[in-house]
Structure 1
Amino acid sequence: MSSKNFNSNIVSYSELIAFFLPIALSLMIMMSTHSVVSSALARTTDAAIAIASYSVAKSVSNMFQSPCITLRRLCVARFKSKESFDKVLKLTGITLIISLIAMGVIVFTPLSKFVFLKLIGVSEELLPHTIRAMTILFFMPLLAAVRSIYQGVITVCRKTYLLTIATAVRAVVMFSLAAIITNTQFITGSIIGSVLMISGILTEAVFAFIFGKKYLKQLPQTSPDKDELDFGGLWLFFIPLVVAQFAMTWGQPSVNAGLARAVNPEVSLAAYQVGRSFAWIFIGMFGRVHQLILVFAKNKESWLKVRRFALVLGISQAIILMIIAVTPIGEWILTNIIGVDQELMVMSMSTIFSLSFVPFILSQTEIYAGLLIKNNKTPVITLGKFCNVATLITTVFILQSMVPNMGAAIGGWASVVGYAVELIILFGFSRNVEKQFISDPKKQVV
């Protein structure tokens, strides 16, 4: 890696596009595979039950997978040498063991009934389907950890085009497997979704491991930077990010709990899963916008360019998603490509419309999150996520009690309000950090 490319304070829009476009494409492809899952489940007997039970299982498993996903942020922010990689690898092992033990307690003990029946509020009919789906998803934390670590290496080395290739291969694997399952019916019900999801993440993890190991050799043995964290400092940096990500994973189970108490709960849960999976094809990329800050933002000029780039991207994706939600385009996609029935289609469209406001909000949220991470202010990220989730949960149950006929759209609008509150908090706390770019155009933020 040349210092000219990786340490320059000057950044162009073409560099931003070259770096982020592969990430955006890979995430759009990846999120489209979630719609492949919805499509495969929609073609099973009792589609609403299959989709709803998988949705609940996936949302709960995400809680235990979240620390392993958070590793990606840690890697991009802190991978500066082979020495730092070894520290992160050790931290990963400890994190993974804790995640698997905690998830195993839920999956393989009677506690599962309490969690799903009492806390989330699923029906007795959904319970066995939900537990079967989550049993397959038990392997998610392990695969997510491998993927995050080695994708972090690939991102730091700015070989982001490999992420696009990996997700394209993932899509081919999942599309092919979905076609085989649909035609042969060798497995049925909610576990179809779990098997497809595991196959996709396994594909990405293997790909990332192969290429990440290759580019790991390009990192220096030790970092020349003075801000290199020791193992204890790494934990202090990482834990607030884990808590923040874990807090966010409470959002979807809370939405599911609210929808489970709405009018026609099975249809509401299924429609929310379908609508959210589709909308996230256009939203998912914004979860990586903070990487632009971590890699490129080093002074006033680069900060302003990254912020403008994110703003344009957020507005454009919001407009595209809104057009799909209010025109026959969305109806045609849901009916003919994903294959849902009329009742699910109508409710899914309302979910997509409500979520069309998220791209703009999230693009700005992640810009300020990146700024705070870059300056080791990760506890603020945690605060923002907690406020997001608290607002989301409150909004879900207010809407569920006041307008239960809204169905799946309850989850969409609650998400919008939650993300908006998070943006306000991160914006407020990052003002002093941002002034470093504005007041001194030559100053580089560590």
Structure 2
Amino acid sequence: MKIQQSTERNSVSFRTLFNFFIPLGISASLVTISHVIINGTLARAPNPAVVIASYSVAMSLFAIFERCAVILRQTCATLARDKHSFKLVSRLTVYLLSAILLLSLIIGYSSIGELFFSQILGVKEHMLGPTMSAYRVLMFVTIFSGIRCLFQGVIISNLRTKWLTIGMAVRLIVMAILSWVILKNGWMNHGYVGAYIFLSGMVIEALVSVVEGRQIIKKMPTKNSDHPIVHRSQVNKFYLPLLLASLIAVIISPAINAVLGSSGKAEIAIASYAIAFSVLNLLLGFSSYIHQIVINFYEKDAKIVHRFTLIFSLIPTFLLVGIAYSPLGVWVLQSIMGVSGELLNQSLLALKFFIIFTLFFPWLDYVNGVLMLKGQTKVMSFSQAGNVIVTIIALLCVIFFLPNGGGLIGALAQSIGVMTETLIALIFLRRFLNKPIFGFKKKKIFQQGA
């Protein structure tokens, strides 16, 4: 028996997948706009360098904790198929968010936090106060993000993905209005103001998700006899490997920045990599939800899911090739992002090496979706660890042969890491095809041609 059981294989239309997937992709892309609103507001502060820096450092710690909360979306979308299984995932959410809040309070209101920011993240004394103030607000964003993701999992598994776009749109409107009011009244003087804008948007998005999610939960059966998720340990076995994989992935970014910082023209190397990576993230926004297509439709029609992935996996690559190898890329970086000179050339070069990343990432998300559907999330910890190890090895090798390589050092190393992670995940997936999941017998997952 599979996590998402189906008594028979039903054909799924391409239009159904499209209608399900596009709202998810739009909501993922709109996330970028929310950060543009905040950064644009912070940039208008009397002392923007201090304000932006304090907010950015606080965000770096926030991002680690939010990773733990965001994977509740995949957990709930995969496991919650009746009121009983949703209750099990909800209990996990309560424990997780309580632990995050407790740890965040310790960091935000004790000398431990001051030591962490000053000694680990290297925050200077004059920046310590503003950074701590910003984090004291951002830690509550994590809580509402976790609540949002819990109910979004239910929304996604019931194919109501338009509500993710609606929630994100309302969030952006609220954030834009609040930003306008703050600037109009001259209140933009601290980094924590940006954190409050972020918090207000997240609360609104969480509220929309809770309202719609609760309506769906009311219609769920109390206990579906065909659904194998009946114990808390089953939820933990699914979630904890995802958590471990997410925490392992945190190592990649500081490792890349550390190596780039020791390269020739370190400032150009770090900046060009950051610019290229921001463009990459924008293009891969849609691909980050391919796993949801697999979770919700693979059991019904594996062939159409495979074909859909094949088509959409090529779009980021084509777009990135167009940006990296045509005048369009120069125009985008110069006119929209304000990049010029050597930084422009180095950013374009880094983008060319990120093409490898775009070729493999959609298929990594596809394979991970199958692993989640089959309950084999522990594989993702191994594949992510392989990514980190290979990325670090590649970083050291590339900088040895190309010490003045600039942003391409990080782009090439990270692309090789993602390629490795994809291959490891695929190898493990085939190895575990005939293993029982949660003690239940299952069929081979590739029997319909994926």
TM-score bracket, shorter-length normalisation: 0.7 to 0.9
Give the letter for the 1:376 counterpart: G
Partner of 2:171: 170
Deviates more, 1:424-433 or 1:362-371: 424-433
Give SS of 2:367's match: helix
Which deviations, in whole Å up to 9, do the C-alpha atoms of 1:21-68 show, x marking residues without a partner? 111111112233334444445555676665555444323222122221
Which deviations, in whole Å up to 9, do the C-alpha atoms of 1:374-397 show, x marking residues without a partner? 111111011112222333344446
Describe how 1:319-330 pairs up with structure 2 within 5 A: 319-330=318-329
Unaligned segments of structure 1, at least 5 residues: none
Q: Give the CA deviation at 1:419.
A: 1.3
Give the letter for the 1:428 counterpart: I
Matched, 1:377 2:376: yes
Partner of 1:15: 16
Partner of 1:318: 317
Give the letter for the 2:29 counterpart: M
Matched, 1:365 2:367: no
- Paired residues of 1:42 and 1:339 also in contact (CA < 8 A): no
Q: Give the CA deviation at 1:188.
A: 4.0
Give the letter for the 2:361 counterpart: L
Q: For residues 82 and 32 of structure 1, what CA distance do their matches in structure 2 show?
A: 35
CA spacing shift, 1:168–1:398, aligned 2, 3 Å:
farther
Partner of 2:437: none
Deviates more, 1:217-226 or 1:166-175: 166-175
Partner of 1:81: 82
Q: Give the CA deviation at 1:12.
A: 2.0
CA spacing shift, 1:53–1:277, aligned 2, 3 Å:
farther
Partner of 2:304: 305
Describe how 1:401-416 pairs up with structure 2 within 5 A: 405-416=404-415
- Paired residues of 1:271 and 1:344 also in contact (CA < 8 A): yes
Q: For residues 251 and 100 of structure 2, what CA distance do their matches in structure 1 show?
A: 15
Which deviations, in whole Å up to 9, do the C-alpha atoms of 1:48-107 show, x marking residues without a partner? 665555444323222122221111111011111011111111111101111222333333
Q: Give the CA deviation at 1:313.
A: 1.0
CA spacing shift, 1:303–1:86, aligned 2, 3 Å:
same
Q: For residues 220 and 295 of structure 1, what CA distance do their matches in structure 2 show?
A: 18
Partner of 1:247: 248
Give the letter for the 1:413 counterpart: L
Give SS of 1:228's match: coil
Q: For residues 125 and 318 of structure 1, what CA distance do their matches in structure 2 show?
A: 44
Q: Give the CA deviation at 1:429.
A: 1.0
Describe how 1:89-104 pairs up with structure 2 within 5 A: 89-104=90-105
Partner of 2:222: 221
- Paired residues of 1:348 and 1:408 also in contact (CA < 8 A): yes
Partner of 2:35: 34
Partner of 2:439: none
Q: TM-score, normalised by structure 1?
A: 0.84
Q: For residues 375 and 186 of structure 1, what CA distance do their matches in structure 2 show?
A: 51
Q: For residues 103 and 123 of structure 1, what CA distance do their matches in structure 2 show?
A: 21
CA spacing shift, 1:272–1:102, aligned 2, 3 Å:
farther
Describe how 1:65-214 pairs up with structure 2 within 5 A: 65-121=66-122, 130-181=131-182, 185-188=186-189, 190-191=191-192, 193-214=194-215
Q: For residues 238 and 117 of structure 1, what CA distance do their matches in structure 2 show?
A: 32
CA spacing shift, 1:243–1:191, aligned 2, 3 Å:
same
Which deviations, in whole Å up to 9, do the C-alpha atoms of 1:301-353 show, x marking residues without a partner? x2232122112212111221332344444454455445567676666555544
Q: For residues 83 and 421 of structure 1, what CA distance do their matches in structure 2 show?
A: 38
Q: Give the CA deviation at 1:151.
A: 0.5
Q: For residues 401 and 40 of structure 2, what CA distance do their matches in structure 1 show?
A: 32
Partner of 1:420: 419
Q: TM-score, normalised by structure 2?
A: 0.83
Partner of 1:276: 277
Q: For residues 48 and 117 of structure 1, what CA distance do their matches in structure 2 show?
A: 18
Give SS of 1:220's match: coil
Q: For residues 398 and 117 of structure 1, what CA distance do their matches in structure 2 show?
A: 31
Q: What is the alpha-carbon root mean square deviation over aligned residues?
A: 3.5
Matched, 1:294 2:259: no
Describe how 1:344-355 pairs up with structure 2 within 5 A: 349-355=348-354
Which deviations, in whole Å up to 9, do the C-alpha atoms of 1:131-151 show, x marking residues without a partner? 444333211320111111111
Q: For residues 30 and 52 of structure 1, what CA distance do their matches in structure 2 show?
A: 20
Greater share of helix residues, 1 or 2?
A: 1
Give SS of 2:223's match: coil
Q: For residues 136 and 84 of structure 1, what CA distance do their matches in structure 2 show?
A: 32
Q: Give the CA deviation at 1:186.
A: 2.0
Q: For residues 328 and 189 of structure 1, what CA distance do their matches in structure 2 show?
A: 39
- Paired residues of 2:360 and 2:418 also in contact (CA < 8 A): yes
Partner of 2:438: none
- Paired residues of 2:41 and 2:194 also in contact (CA < 8 A): yes
Give SS of 1:430's match: helix
Q: For residues 374 and 227 of structure 1, what CA distance do their matches in structure 2 show?
A: 12
- Paired residues of 2:41 and 2:188 also in contact (CA < 8 A): no
- Paired residues of 2:242 and 2:377 also in contact (CA < 8 A): yes
Which deviations, in whole Å up to 9, do the C-alpha atoms of 1:245-292 show, x marking residues without a partner? 222233334444445555666676566555433431221332221111
CA spacing shift, 1:100–1:77, aligned 2, 3 Å:
same
Aligned length: 438
Unaligned segments of structure 2, at least 5 residues: 435-442
CA spacing shift, 1:138–1:180, aligned 2, 3 Å:
same
- Paired residues of 1:355 and 1:413 also in contact (CA < 8 A): yes
Q: Give the CA deviation at 1:222.
A: 0.8
CA spacing shift, 1:191–1:283, aligned 2, 3 Å:
farther
Matched, 1:231 2:232: yes
- Paired residues of 2:263 and 2:399 also in contact (CA < 8 A): yes
Give the letter for the 1:173 counterpart: V
